[in-house]
Structure 1
Amino acid sequence: MAELFELRDVKKNYAGNTILNGISLSLFKKHIIAITGDSGAGKTTLLSIMGLLQQPSSGQIFVNGTAVNKLQLSEQARLRGKYFGFVFQRARLIGSLSVLENVLVPAHFAKTEDDVIKRAKFLLEKFDMSNRLNYKPQELSVGQMRRVSLARALLFRPSIILADEPTNDLDPSLAETVAEYFLQIRNDGTSVVIVTHDYVLANRADQVFRLEHGQLSQVTHA
């Protein structure tokens, strides 16, 4: 099976410190990977490099067979917009916009012929938010805001979702609901990489890795 995404010997140095030290990782279609590790281990840095938001100090990145390192930054941005959706640790919703308008925010930065409003409403219905379309973020619970951010990330049908602590600050019941949504989108053909301290969520993944001392190792259970 061909890799949808691949890291080869990726290193990241910052201010004289080695944050990532030779990371290699493959992601396939309909594949969920969880990455665990202590706070400060470099998990968010690794996720940012995977999403082409940061440049590695060395090593190679491939997206659907394309060598990212050989591309200009503008070409990397195009590749990022085509293949990736992001679910950040905080929902990062815009307080002045409604739920529906927040999901449609990426449409302001990309040209598409798709009926994006129809797509946005479909996703919000999928995530049990169709009765909150006109609500503002301050009227939502933390779990509801997470669902809105996930719908926003899926608006343009990305091949890969990168999620940073998606169940952080959620009670166990809501965390389980969010975990179920990730399993749903995997079934729709999307691959997922989750950085998490939530071991229950991590153990729902196809593979679990631990980042420690700048190196990534696969573990049987988180």
Structure 2
Amino acid sequence: MSLLEVGARRGRALVGGHPVGAAADEGWGHYAPGADLPPDLVADLDDWARAADAWERSGAGPRSSEGVRVSRTGRHLAARVSVVLRRPVDYRDPVSGLRIPLRAVATAPRLPAVPLPARRRGRRLPGTVSTVFTEPTPWATGLTLAAIVAGLVLAANLTLALPLVAGLGWFGVLIDLVVVAGLVPALWLNRTVPTWRWAVWGSFVGMGLAVVPLLVAASAAG
């Protein structure tokens, strides 16, 4: 049995090189590999392809939250295509460019339910990924991680900077601020990366909290 490749190009979802959805009538005749797909799957594929195109035009990196969502959702949709058509599928990830074979799902009687991102009601905003794809935010785990990182950064900053401020006063505070400012650009680049974003914001909180005792120490030393 021949393989089908599921991918996206220029805002269109492709199954076996043929566009699905409204684009399937544009010069491909009456039959295309995706012609037998149910309407809800076609709609999800169309939304995913638009999101992939918006991610590419936004310039966000593959490790960004938008890139991760596009990659994961595309893989789930490719698995659904394989099960519906009962054919092996290769998934062409628009984020990494890798071709991922999905063989086992071709014989699976039923795929586990995968919660797909809900579509935004009303008019879609062009060039936006977050309005098309959303996923539950792990607030409990994320805030716990952020709190732990904030505490560690606060303790490290005070341990290193308090002796400096006690000896140099306000000049010690200035030195500490220069050092912290040098770390901010590197942290800022990871502010949208899943998991790491919680550590980044925790670091910012820890740095901000450290300013208060350092100012008090500088006033006492001055």
TM-score by length of 1: 0.24
TM-score normalised to the size of structure 2?
Answer: 0.24
Considering fraction of residues, name the structure with more helix.
2
Task: Considering fraction of residues, name the structure with more strand.
Answer: 1
Query: Highest Rg: 1 or 2?
Result: 2
> Relative contact order: is structure 1 or structure 2 higher (C-alpha 8 Å, sep ≥ 6)?
1
